[in-house]
A = this chain, B = another copy of it.
C-alpha cells in the first residue's frame, strides 16, 4: 500500500519539526515537503501534488485560509487539514468554508492526532464540525504538539524576562552570573520547548501570554 504523501505548511520551523517527528514514526505517512507560508504552499503543491496538506492558519505573507482557498480552486482533489493551537472555533468555520476538509488542533496528544489524521486520510471519517467540536471538548487545555506539554522552568522564565527586555546573551550572562554559553543553552531549550525560531518570536510570545509587563 502506498503511503499518504504529506505537505506540511507552518511558519514555525520547530512546529514543522514537531509534526515531522510524530508522523515519521508511521510507515503510512510520508512527508514530501515543508512550506513556511501560503505562497510556498501553493508552489510546492504545484510541484509535488501531495495527497494531504497540513496547513497552519496563522502565517505571514499569505495565511492558511487564503492559501486553502486558492489551492482548492486549482487542485480540488487535495485534502487540506488545518492545524492550529487556537481554541477559537470561528477559525474552524472559516477554514471549512474555504474548502478545508479537516481541522486538527495542535494541542491534542500525538497518538490521537495521528489516529484522526489517518482516519481522515482513509475517508473513514468525514471530518466534520461535530468531530472538531468533540476534540475541542475533550482537550480544552492547551498542550504542545510534541510528546508532552513541557513547561518552562523557573530559571528559563527568568531568562525570558531579560530576553524580552532586549538584552544580548552576553548582557544576560552578566546579569545572572552565568556564562554566555549557558545562556545560549537555556535559550535553545526555551525556543525548542515553545516551537519558536528566534528571540523576537519569544518576545512576542511572552507579551501575548502575559509573561512580561
Pair A171/B204 contact, Cβ less than 8 Å: no
A207-B207, A208-B213 are contacts. A201–B165 as well, Cβ < 8 Å?
Answer: yes
Identity of the chain B residue whose Cβ is nearest the Cβ of A171 in the assembled complex: B60
Q: Could you say how many copies of this chain the assembly holds?
A: 2
9-residue interface stretch from A1-9, A16-24, A83-91, A192-200: A192-200
CB contacts (< 8 Å) of A171 on chain B: these are 60-61
Interface pair A162/B203, CB less than 8 Å apart: no
**Are the CB atoms of B174 and A61 closer together than 8 Å?**
yes
Q: Within 8 Å of chain B (Cβ to Cβ): is A167?
A: yes
A80 proximal to B (CB < 8 A):
no
Q: Report if A190 contacts B (CB, 8 A).
A: no
Q: Is the interface of A mostly helix, strand, loop or mixed?
A: helix
For the complex formed, measure the closest distance between the CB of A196 and the CB atoms of chain B, giving whole angstroms.
7
Chain A, 111-146, CB within 8 A of any chain B CB: none
Report A136-175 residues with CB < 8 Å from chain B CB.
Answer: 162-168, 171, 174-175
Asked if residues A60 and B162 are in contact (CB atoms below 8 Å), the reply is yes
Chain B: minimal CB distance from A14 (Å): 12
Residues from 94 to 123 in A contacting B, C-beta threshold 8 Å? none
Question: What residues of chain A have their CB less than 8 Å away from a CB belonging to chain B?
Answer: 60-61, 162-168, 171, 174-175, 196-201, 203-204, 207-208, 212-213
